[in-house]
Amino acid sequence: MSGLLQRLAPAAGTTPRATLLFVLDGRPCTGLQGDTVLTAVLTQATQLRQSEPSGAARAGFCLMGACQDCWMLTEDGQRLRACSTLLAGGMRLLTGALS
Amino acid sequence: MSDPIVIVGAGPAGLRAAEQLVRAGQRPVLIDEATRVGGQIYRQPPAALQRSRQALYGFEAGKAGALHDTFAALLPQIDYRPDSLVWQIEANTLHLASVASTGASAVASGGAALTSASAQRFSALILATGATDRVLPFPGWTLPGVFTLGGAQVALKAQACLIGPRVVFAGSGPLLYLVAWQYLQISANQGAQVLAVLDAAPPGAAWRALPQLLARPEVLARGAYYLARLRAAGVPVQHGVRLQRAQGDGRLESLTWQAGRRTVTTACDALAFGHGLRPETQLADLAGCAFDFDPSDQAWLPRRDGAGRSSVAGVYLAGDGAGILGADAAELTGALAALTALDDLRLQPASASASASASASASASTLTRRLTQQLQRHRRFRAGLDQLSPPPDDWAASVPDELIVCRCEEISAGELRACVRDTGTRDINRLKALTRIGMGRCQGRMCAAAASRLLADAAGSTLAQVGRLRGQAPVKPLPIRLLAEALRGTAALPVPADEADD
């Protein structure tokens, strides 16, 4: 399944970014150093979370910390605002798509 | 030692305010929710993702560079607090939550995004809180793949991503054409496509707006250039458009829109939309500032005098957070608010002798006069923009009952209309209490413009009459343990353990 976001090809002459390993809904995934959690997830998936009232898929909206529609759950029950949190290796994230 | 002058927001207004304060020998505290300075317009990507200023900011590369360089020079002379959210203001104290924006610290702290609480007293407070997209929603706007215009720009600038391969841009305002052009420029050699620009403004609006837009010919010329490039590339640019529905199974697949009598469905992967900007006023509200209805922004704005003073002594307002005038004007109002604060506090340059001090004070008042004069041009231009891209005035009457107005709590237009019909309420805060509109995680940032319009339409009153959503602390979601931490040592009652997760 392709993601929502499409990465630009890196500009010529730039050093390639380091790869970071994380886990999304139990599957091993890779992102790049400098990715927000939102970018890392939405370049390979189509949702970040499900809305509490209806269970509908959500994938953020404003990308600047205002709309609060990108809070993701981690496997240990913590919440991250995906648009303003940088990806770190070892994160274990849930989109709610499996439940 | 007396309390410092504190600036909230490190965009164009906040940074120019800091510059003036440092020039006068102060060491201001500069608080910003982001990890790097620049605000939204001159936002910088994370350090690992370096791109050239030209690639990031286009025509504005010079201004962005100047602002970032100014900050680099100021840094040793200010108390800079990035990753810090101001979530409450009481008397002369700001309550802060430090935000662990780096995933690494979030992992280290067990995944918590917000890690510690603190308080900061101030002698004067300059609020430069900026703006976000003003959103007038349409059915299907919560589907994955639908973003704000600002969001589409953040994806590109800060993350080197497109919001999708085939993108439609819609709504109104200068950002519509700017972002569409930015995507057009980059997308050709990325296998991506700008499918259409759908402008809500009626055809011919540009001609009516022209006289006032000429107040800033260079900006007008740039807008005309974006439009010409889009047209030359064969991108359909349609005026008088109403968005009818975004459709798709779990993600956006097509958009249905109407122009005149024509209804069109466009297959697409992503949509960016917005209707101009809305000032971020919640902190001014918590600071106790008086508000007035502003017909130009069609919103309640914190009252300010020509020099940047709010109605509260010691609290100053600058930039788009106090009323939309754009980034260039924000640099002016930021500097102006700082000079006013210095004047009110009777602060002189620290090292100056009597004569040098007198000349510094004279040059400050010359500067104040010049800034005030320059702002006139921006106000005239802004009036032109209102004519160029008026928010659609029939929006509230035309949206269907099933439209989700509040994306946090999924409250529909029908529920709001029924509430007005059944209870006779004519007040936005009453509507909030009755329906939970504006009570969700975003605190009305995304829905207030729409909900106020629907209420005014249903109650047969005006936007000014329905009032404004009052700001509530915390202005953004916080873990409850952080509130407990903030309350420790204060007289306030701790949160009972059985309510800790509420």
Domain CATH for B420: 1.10.10.1100
Structural domain including B443 reads: 395-461
What local confidence, expressed as pLDDT, does residue B502 receive?
A: 45
Residue B389 lies in a domain: no
The model's pTM is 0.94
Residue B222 lies in a domain: yes
Instruction: With beta carbons under 8 A apart, name residues in chain A contacting B32.
Output: none
Which amino acid is located at B249 in the chain?
Answer: D
Could A64 and B113 be called an inter-chain contact, meaning their C-beta atoms sit closer than 8 Å?
A: no
State both tokens at B148.
């704000």
Distance from CA of A29 to the nearest CA of B (A): 16
In order along its 502 residues, chain B shows pLDDT tens digits of 589 999 999 999 999 999 999 999 999 999 999 999 999 999 999 988 878 888 899 899 999 999 999 999 999 999 999 999 999 999 899 999 987 666 555 555 444 455 788 999 999 999 999 999 999 999 999 999 999 999 999 999 999 999 999 999 999 999 999 999 999 999 878 889 999 999 999 888 888 899 999 999 999 999 999 999 999 999 999 999 999 999 999 999 999 999 999 999 999 999 999 999 999 999 999 999 999 999 999 999 999 999 999 999 999 999 999 999 999 999 999 999 999 999 999 986 554 556 666 777 778 889 999 999 999 999 999 999 988 888 888 999 999 999 999 999 999 999 999 999 999 999 999 999 999 999 999 999 999 999 999 999 999 999 999 999 999 999 998 878 788 877 775 545 445 455 444 4
Query: Cα(B100)–Cα(A84) distance, rounded to whole angstroms?
Result: 9
Instruction: With beta carbons under 8 A apart, name residues in chain A contacting B440.
Output: 68
CATH of the domain at A56: 3.10.20.440
Structural domain including A37 reads: 19-94
Are B189 and B270 in the same domain?
Answer: yes
Are B258 and B199 in the same domain?
Answer: yes
In order along its 99 residues, chain A shows pLDDT tens digits of 589 999 998 887 888 899 999 999 999 999 999 999 999 999 999 999 999 999 999 999 999 999 999 999 999 988 899 999 999 999 999 999 765
Instruction: With beta carbons under 8 A apart, name residues in chain B contacting A8.
Output: 156, 160-162, 186, 190
Are B49 and B119 in the same domain?
Answer: yes
Residue A5 lies in a domain: no
Distance from CA of A13 to the nearest CA of B (A): 11
B270: helix, strand or coil: strand
What local confidence, expressed as pLDDT, does residue B490 receive?
A: 58
Does the beta carbon of A30 lie under 8 angstroms from any beta carbon of chain B?
no
Could A88 and B102 be called an inter-chain contact, meaning their C-beta atoms sit closer than 8 Å?
A: yes
Does the beta carbon of B481 lie under 8 angstroms from any beta carbon of chain A?
no
Does the beta carbon of B162 lie under 8 angstroms from any beta carbon of chain A?
yes
The number of domains in chain A is: 1
Are B212 and B336 in the same domain?
Answer: no
> Which of A9, A35, A90 minimises the CB distance to B190?
A9
Instruction: With beta carbons under 8 A apart, name residues in chain B contacting A76.
Output: 110-111
CATH of the domain at B120: 3.50.50.60
What local confidence, expressed as pLDDT, does residue B497 receive?
A: 54
Are B306 and B235 in the same domain?
Answer: no
Are B69 and B189 in the same domain?
Answer: no
Are B211 and B297 in the same domain?
Answer: no
Beta strands B270-275 and B166-172: pairing type?
Answer: parallel
Are B25 and B75 in the same domain?
Answer: yes
Query: pLDDT (tens digit, 9 = 90+) per residue, A41-66?
Result: 999 999 999 999 999 999 999 999 99
Are B209 and B283 in the same domain?
Answer: no
Residue B91 lies in a domain: yes
Are B173 and B249 in the same domain?
Answer: yes
The residues, any chain, with a CB within 8 Å of residue B44's CB and separated by 6 or more, are B36, B37, B38, B56, B68, B158
State both tokens at A35.
């990715």
Instruction: With beta carbons under 8 A apart, name residues in chain A contacting B446.
Output: 61-62, 66-67, 69
Residue A11 lies in a domain: no
Please name the residue ranges forming H helices in B251-404: 282-286, 327-344, 354-388, 395-398
Residue B373 lies in a domain: no
The number of domains in chain B is: 3
What local confidence, expressed as pLDDT, does residue B348 receive?
A: 67
Does the beta carbon of A95 lie under 8 angstroms from any beta carbon of chain B?
no
Instruction: With beta carbons under 8 A apart, name residues in chain B contacting A91.
Output: 103, 106-107, 111
How many C-beta neighbours within 10 Å does residue B276 have? 25
Could A4 and B251 be called an inter-chain contact, meaning their C-beta atoms sit closer than 8 Å?
A: yes
Tell me the ipTM for this assembly: 0.97
State both tokens at B90.
């009481």
Residue A99 lies in a domain: no
Distance from CA of A96 to the nearest CA of B (A): 13
What local confidence, expressed as pLDDT, does residue B354 receive?
A: 61
Residue B17 lies in a domain: yes
Are B147 and B251 in the same domain?
Answer: yes
Query: Cα(B460)–Cα(B458) distance, rounded to whole angstroms?
Result: 6
